[in-house]
């Protein structure tokens, strides 16, 4: 989609390096806009992965907005994209849908003389009871827009706001796409979205697709032709930390052949299926063999007297695939919940690509865990909550530093090369068996007959399997 590509080019070419609250600098540009004619087709980008669990997350997030819920207890059954911002009860300190459907109105004492406000009997106003028993009045902005489209479509007042100044001033994450306007011209329904801030590579493709879908839904409900989607940014930015620039993704990649490797005791992936690039990479690095530890003995950190278990945790397909282009080619919420419950409070070791995929999805490191990023890159710049380690021993030492005395275990979360480096040092494997056989470029290493299945739990289509050394 040319309009989006032009936006990315403008930000990268004319933007300036700016510090960021996450600790990762950005290339940022002021005041940009693009427009898409939705009547010519749906703007789902092909230079950004939008399939599978990503599309599922987009759909359920939009439905969550429209539900008006201020918590994520229902949403988290489908996606974890908001988990990092919620408390233990699933409540957020700012929720788009809460303001869309239940924007708070001032009580009698909060109104200034002469101001006009809807009364209790107004059709878009509702009185709801708070958990503490007090009553409050709220305004349904979405219903207001739907009714106005049917009754007064030429109105220029169909504005929906998710921004409450008092809330935004103290919120952990105030709304980025904070207001949109619905406008009808020549029988076509148009939507204009304004964002105070937008990452053009990470979030904007989802904002574009979600609000375009919403425009189609509004047009269908009110019998209009769908028109244009306009998108304005105050601050358009792109993370500047050593990633391939957006828009530079390779096109025309051929499907990768499936591997016959299976992750079961005794199964080994033939060398022919490891790929020439992987073999060449190993040849160039010339790593010395990692010292083998006594099975089950744990890792004892030099000078600290700390013994900790090393646990590999992975989701593995029937053909041994664990990823493609640095990400998992599936989405199973129960597996994500298990990973979170298993690793919470522990240090988690991962490779750079795995970390960047997680940071792209969550907006930063895994919360409430020390993220230890294993990479030979000396210039790796990480935010608070993440630690850089250039070698395995350094990663283990950093894990020991982060250990809770009652939780003497470090979890290794991939990717393939990191699993291979830690397999001989591991005390335990926790594998989620995925009932699929997708193509992929990363595989879990063959575990051979040195491991014995200790436990197996079945959850729907998935199996959670624990291995210990034989």
Does residue 259 belong to any structural domain of this protein? no
Range of the domain at 450: 271-469
Predicted local distance difference test score (pLDDT) of residue 209: 97
- The tokens for 425 are 């040092």
Predicted local distance difference test score (pLDDT) of residue 130: 81
Query: Residues 385, 370: contact at Cβ < 8 Å?
Result: yes
| 176 in catalytic set | yes
Specify the DSSP element, H or E, that contains 456.
strand 451-459
Same domain, 316 and 388: yes
Does residue 251 belong to any structural domain of this protein? no
Does residue 244 belong to any structural domain of this protein? no
pLDDT interval class at 470 (50, 70, 90):
confident
Most confident of 50-64, 201-215, 264-278, 285-299: 201-215
Same domain, 453 and 384: yes
pLDDT interval class at 456 (50, 70, 90):
very high
What are the residues whose beta carbons fall under 8 Å from the beta carbon of 36, sequence distance 6 or more? Answer: 1, 3, 43, 208, 212, 228, 229, 231
Of 239, 254, 282, the residue at which a domain comes to its end is: 239
Does residue 128 belong to any structural domain of this protein? no
Catalytic residue among 11, 149, 176, 357: 176
In terms of C-beta distances under 8 Å and separation of at least 24 residues, what long-range contacts does 374-378 make, across chains too? 374/349, 374/350, 374/418, 374/421, 375/351, 377/242, 377/352
Question: pLDDT at residue 63 above 90?
Answer: yes
Question: pLDDT at residue 76 above 60?
Answer: yes
Of the ranges 245-254, 304-313, 330-339, 358-367, which one carries the lowest mean pLDDT score? 245-254
Of the ranges 288-292, 347-351, 359-363, which one carries the lowest mean pLDDT score? 288-292
Predicted local distance difference test score (pLDDT) of residue 132: 84
CB atoms within 10 A of CB 326: 18
Question: pLDDT (tens digit, 9 = 90+) per residue, 385-415?
Answer: 899 999 999 999 899 888 765 557 899 999 9
Question: pLDDT at residue 302 above 70?
Answer: no
Domain count, the chain: 2
Same domain, 169 and 310: no
- The tokens for 426 are 């591991």
Residue of 258, 272, 298, 242 lying closest to 410 (CA atoms): 298
Question: pLDDT at residue 348 above 50?
Answer: yes
Same domain, 197 and 283: no
Please name the residue that has the structure tokens 């789902």: 44
Question: pLDDT (tens digit, 9 = 90+) per residue, 242-266?
Answer: 443 444 333 332 333 333 333 433 4
Same domain, 311 and 398: yes
pLDDT interval class at 368 (50, 70, 90):
confident
pLDDT interval class at 453 (50, 70, 90):
very high
Question: pLDDT at residue 28 above 70?
Answer: yes
pLDDT interval class at 22 (50, 70, 90):
low
pLDDT interval class at 19 (50, 70, 90):
confident
Predicted local distance difference test score (pLDDT) of residue 402: 83
Does residue 161 belong to any structural domain of this protein? yes
CATH number at residue 150: 3.30.572.10
Does residue 125 belong to any structural domain of this protein? no
What are the residues whose beta carbons fall under 8 Å from the beta carbon of 386, sequence distance 6 or more? Answer: 355, 365, 370, 371, 372, 373
- The tokens for 93 are 């300190």
Query: What is the chain's mean pLDDT, rounded?
Result: 84
Residue with the bigger pLDDT between 244 and 17: it is 17
Question: pLDDT (tens digit, 9 = 90+) per residue, 170-195?
Answer: 998 899 999 999 999 999 999 999 99
Does residue 132 belong to any structural domain of this protein? no
Predicted local distance difference test score (pLDDT) of residue 50: 85
CATH number at residue 421: 3.40.430.10
Of the ranges 226-240, 339-353, 356-370, 431-445, which one carries the lowest mean pLDDT score? 356-370
Question: pLDDT at residue 336 above 80?
Answer: yes
Q: Report the pLDDT averaged over residues 90-103.
A: 93
Residue with the bigger pLDDT between 276 and 435: it is 435
Residue with the bigger pLDDT between 42 and 266: it is 42
Of 239, 254, 279, the residue at which a domain comes to its end is: 239
Distance CA 334, CA 354 (A): 20
Does residue 392 belong to any structural domain of this protein? yes
Same domain, 305 and 208: no
Distance CA 445, CA 280 (A): 17
Residue with the bigger pLDDT between 190 and 301: it is 190
Same domain, 376 and 284: yes
Query: Residues 457, 335: contact at Cβ < 8 Å?
Result: no
Residue of 125, 101, 140, 146 lying closest to 117 (CA atoms): 125
Virtual CA dihedral for 276, 280, 283, 289, nearest 10 degrees? -60
Same domain, 197 and 278: no
Same domain, 303 and 235: no
Same domain, 41 and 182: yes
Same domain, 286 and 398: yes
Of 194, 222, 239, the residue at which a domain comes to its end is: 239
Same domain, 152 and 289: no
C-alpha distances (whole Å) from 64 to each of 51, 101, 265, 333, 367 are 19, 11, 43, 16, 23
Of the ranges 55-59, 74-78, 242-246, which one carries the lowest mean pLDDT score? 242-246
């Amino acid at each position: 989609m040319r309009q989006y590509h032009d936006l990315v080019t403008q930000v990268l070419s004319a933007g300036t390096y700016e510090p960021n609250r996450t600790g990762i600098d950005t290339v940022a540009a002021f005041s940009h806009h693009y427009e898409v004619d939705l009547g010519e087709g749906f703007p789902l980008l092909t230079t950004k992965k939008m399939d599978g669990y990503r599309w599922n997350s987009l759909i359920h997030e939009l439905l969550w907005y429209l539900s008006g819920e201020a918590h994520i207890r229902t949403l988290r059954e489908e996606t974890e994209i908001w988990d990092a911002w919620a408390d233990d009860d699933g409540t957020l300190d700012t929720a788009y849908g809460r303001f869309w459907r239940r924007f708070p109105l001032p009580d009698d004492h909060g109104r200034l003389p002469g101001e006009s406000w809807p009364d209790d009997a107004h059709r878009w106003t509702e009185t709801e009871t708070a958990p503490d028993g007090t009553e409050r009045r709220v305004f349904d902005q979405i219903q207001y827009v739907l009714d106005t489209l049917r009754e007064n479509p030429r109105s220029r007042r169909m504005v929906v706001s998710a921004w409450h100044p008092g809330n935004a001033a103290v919120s952990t994450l105030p709304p980025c796409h904070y207001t949109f306007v619905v406008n009808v011209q020549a029988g076509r329904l148009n939507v204009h979205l304004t964002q105070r801030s937008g990452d053009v590579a990470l979030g904007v493709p989802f904002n574009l697709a979600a609000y375009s879908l919403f425009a189609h839904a509004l047009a269908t409900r009110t019998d209009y032709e769908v028109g244009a989607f306009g998108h304005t940014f105050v601050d358009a930015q792109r993370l500047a930390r050593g990633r391939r620039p957006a828009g530079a993704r390779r096109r025309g990649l051929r499907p990768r052949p499936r591997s016959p490797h299976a992750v079961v005791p005794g199964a080994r992936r033939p060398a022919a299926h490891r790929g020439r690039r992987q073999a060449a990479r190993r040849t160039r690095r010339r790593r010395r063999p990692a010292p083998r530890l006594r099975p089950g003995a744990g890792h004892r950190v030099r000078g600290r007297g700390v013994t900790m278990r090393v646990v590999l945790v992975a989701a593995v397909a029937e053909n041994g695939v664990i990823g493609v282009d640095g990400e998992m080619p599936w989405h199973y919420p129960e597996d994500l919940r298990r990973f979170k419950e298993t690793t919470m409070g522990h240090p988690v070791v991962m490779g750079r690509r795995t970390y960047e995929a997680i940071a792209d999805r969550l907006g930063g490191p895994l919360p409430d865990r020390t993220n230890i990023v294993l990479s030979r890159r000396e210039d790796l710049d990480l935010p608070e909550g993440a630690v850089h380690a250039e070698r395995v021993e350094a990663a283990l030492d950093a894990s020991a530093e982060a250990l809770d005395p009652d939780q003497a275990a470090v979890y290794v979360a991939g990717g393939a090369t990191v699993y291979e480096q830690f397999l001989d040092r591991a005390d335990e494997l926790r594998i989620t068996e995925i009932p699929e056989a997708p193509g992929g470029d990363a595989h879990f290493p063959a575990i051979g007959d040195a491991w014995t299945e200790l436990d197996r739990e079945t959850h729907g289509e998935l199996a959670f399997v624990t291995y210990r050394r034989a």
